[in-house]
Amino acid sequence: MPIARNKKNPPVNPDAIAAFGAAAEARPATPEPPAPSAPAKARAARSAAPTAKKGEEKPPPKSSLVRWAGEEETRDRLLAYSAAERYNMQDLMVKAMQLGMDQLEGR
């Protein structure tokens, strides 16, 4: 298999270089100030939630694609299993759904 060689650059157009230089020189030395805008809202400070130490339980996640209302026990079981077996939550939930679908479909 032949080695790919770098292709030569196309010939330089001196007129294009001159036009670029002229455009750069025509720009004003100081930029124009931006139009006044509404003052930016200050962000609320995030509270520093304490992280769980080894052996302590972690608080439930504040955001999730799954709505856990009424199913907090299932969520807590998944979190405990993922921590004990060192699975990430994504892989564990996918595997649980696969096993559940297999059981529902009678496989």
Q: Judge whether 82 and 72 are in contact, CB under 8 Å.
A: no
For 79-106, how does the pLDDT look when each residue is reduced to its tens digit (9 = 90+)? 888 888 888 888 888 888 899 999 999 8
Of 21-30, 42-51, 55-64, 90-99, where does mean pLDDT reach its minimum? 42-51
What is the C-alpha to C-alpha distance for residues 104 and 107, in angstroms, rounded to an integer? 8
State mean pLDDT over 45-72: 68
In this predicted structure, what is the pLDDT of residue 52? 56
What is the C-alpha to C-alpha distance for residues 37 and 43, in angstroms, rounded to an integer? 17
**Whole-angstrom Cα Rg for the chain:** 30
Say if residue 97 is exposed, middle or buried (CB neighbours under 10 Å; 0-12, 13-18, 19+).
Answer: exposed
In this predicted structure, what is the pLDDT of residue 47? 55
